[in-house]
Amino acid sequence: MKSVLLATEDKLSHAIGARLLRDYGWVPEQIVPVICDGNTKFRSKLSALMKSAALNRPVVLITDLDAKVCAPALVSDWLEGKVLPEYVGFRVAVREIESWILADRQGFSDFLGIAETLVPARPEALPNPKTSLLKLAEKSRAAVAKDIIIPAGARQSKGIGYNRVLASFIETTWDPKAASAVAPSLERARRRLGSLTPP
């Protein structure tokens, strides 16, 4: 069975990537996860991932733009002059993967039980989409919100169920087509992943 390597910074990005690949015919058994703990470790695995692509095995890389100026600059920095193999789909979420989640404004507002007008209309313009998402969750009375937000007095950057709850939303409710209408980097990712469709 043909497979695709899906390399991401974290579990949330993996959930997004797997959801996008399903739209183009890949089944869960074909998606091999390579989940890194942050972009530093992710980048250290790049050479090995390129070797997989050189064997005509599709590889999808999804990382966050974070503070970089633009996606092309990030990709160029990571590749260090190397040419991206044909079978690699290297996509960058502007500025964080959370912007792609927020981009499905109706779906996310329904999920949290808040007004759609509260969800930013241009999520990729946000300086910190994750912070914006957490603030929206704080406005919610939905049961799922309590697992997303940071407990009072806690030092962690997100709620204990953050990845689990949002991954469930992505897998069951999130609408990539609607989200791509307001998130250009997501639309580009969908087009690229579509070109890696299994035969």
SS3 per-residue string spanning 114-177: CCHHHCCCCHHHCCCHHHHHHHHHHCCCCCCHHHHCCCCCCCCCCCCCHHHHHHHHHHHCCCHH
| Token pair 């890696």: residue | 196
- Residue 165's domain spans which residues? 99-180
DSSP letter string, 63-88:
EE-TTSS-HHHHHHHHHTTPPPPTTE
User: Mean pLDDT across the stretch 46-65?
Assistant: 91
* pLDDT higher than 80, residue 198: no
89: pLDDT confidence band, cut at 50, 70 and 90?
A: very high
In percent, the amount of the chain with pLDDT more than 70 equals 98
pLDDT at 161: 96
**Which CATH number does the domain housing residue 72 bear?**
3.40.50
pLDDT grade for 152, boundaries at 50, 70 and 90 = confident
Do the domain assignments include residue 120? yes
* The total number of structural domains that make up the chain: 2
Looking at the structure, tell me whether residues 105 and 174 fall in a common domain: yes
pTM: 0.95
**Residue 199 resides in a domain:** no
Per-residue confidence band for 96, with pLDDT thresholds at 50, 70 and 90: very high
* 107 in Cβ contact with 118 (< 8 Å): no
